[in-house]
Amino acid sequence: MIKESKDIIILPDRFRDPYTFESVLSMNSSLLESSGTVDMSRIAFIEPYSMISFLLMGRNFLRKRGEKLKLIHIPIHIHQYLNRMDFFSKGIFILTETLPEGMSLKRNPISNRLLEITEIPGKERQGVNVLASVISLFRKRSELILKFWMDESIVDYFVTVLSELCQNIFEHSLDSGFVTMQTYKSGKENIARLVISDSGVGIRGSFEGKKTLNYKTTSQLIELALTTPISSKREFGYGLCQVNSITEKLKGTIFIRSESSSLTVLYNKIEKGKNIFHRNDLPYFEGTQIAISLSA
């Protein structure tokens, strides 16, 4: 972390994937103690997981400090992108610069390889309505979002994944969360990434009452939830298991982070041996953040 004079925090260019973003998450506690001004001038690229996680960092700052993070020196292309993704419309940040007139990215069908950031409410009734509109929008844009993976069943697979993961927010997290999806190019690779994150009670918190479950670390609990139909509220659950099985069918990857742990499952590289990676020594960050990715 680099601190400029007057306590301005300069963010590194580490918004490229869930792994590099850990260095930004490691700044969270310093951010909470800072004056709340963040310099974004070094950021050259932002992918959906990093964007949503940074949004949660901003929301946590607002909740704990009662004031908004001030973002300064945002490169124009980053500003355009975040604006296009409705990042700023959540009322979490203060902007000192506005985009020059005519510089906003147009919302035309060609730029619709994405789902803008949508807040999934923590209450069931509102959550159900928002989820229905997210899925309806996804169906309209799915041919563009999933252009490189298109077959007759993939849209329905993703509707199931969206449904299961968004419901976890209002059923288990005790908080609202955010969903977004985008297809983007990274080098020669096309990546479709669906991100659903919250800063609620986390997976361990959600399963606190289930004393019969056998696990030592949070990443083991995440693996258990992915591979066994366990539920924190009912006798058994299906959601994460179904997401895991669909991701396996699609040869995608799953990244789940909760508090100080993460689990990565790579079904695209399964032939190379080990495909599940546990981490339990990460900087603490509230809630559960999930990225489901396909690459082509």
Task: Using CB under 8 A, list all residues that contact another protein.
Answer: 124-125, 128, 131-132, 135-136, 139, 153, 156-157, 159-160, 163-164, 167, 171, 229, 235-239, 241-242, 245
CB 278 within 8 A of CB 219: yes
Q: How far is the CB of 156 from another protein (least distance, A)?
A: 4
As a whole number of angstroms, the distance between CA 285 and CA 74 comes to 24
Q: How far is the CB of 86 from another protein (least distance, A)?
A: 23
Closer residue to another protein in complex, CB, 169/266: 169
Q: How far is the CB of 276 from another protein (least distance, A)?
A: 21
CB 105 within 8 A of CB 81: yes
CB 212 within 8 A of CB 204: no
Closer residue to another protein in complex, CB, 96/228: 228
As a whole number of angstroms, the distance between CA 32 and CA 285 comes to 12
Closer residue to another protein in complex, CB, 12/229: 229
Q: How far is the CB of 241 from another protein (least distance, A)?
A: 7
CB 232 within 8 A of CB 207: yes
194 closest CA partner among 208, 177, 206: 177
Closer residue to another protein in complex, CB, 46/194: 194
Closer residue to another protein in complex, CB, 45/215: 215
Closer residue to another protein in complex, CB, 62/174: 174
Q: How far is the CB of 266 from another protein (least distance, A)?
A: 22
Closer residue to another protein in complex, CB, 60/232: 232
- Alpha helix positions (H), the chain: 22-25, 28-33, 48-65, 76-84, 124-145, 154-168, 202-206, 218-227, 239-249
Angle between helices 154-168 and 124-145 (to 10 degrees): 150
* The two structure tokens encoding residue 48: 């959906």
Buried/exposed 195-216: b ≥16 CB within 10 Å, e otherwise: bbbbbbbbbbbbbeeeeeeeee
Q: How far is the CB of 73 from another protein (least distance, A)?
A: 42
Q: How far is the CB of 128 from another protein (least distance, A)?
A: 5
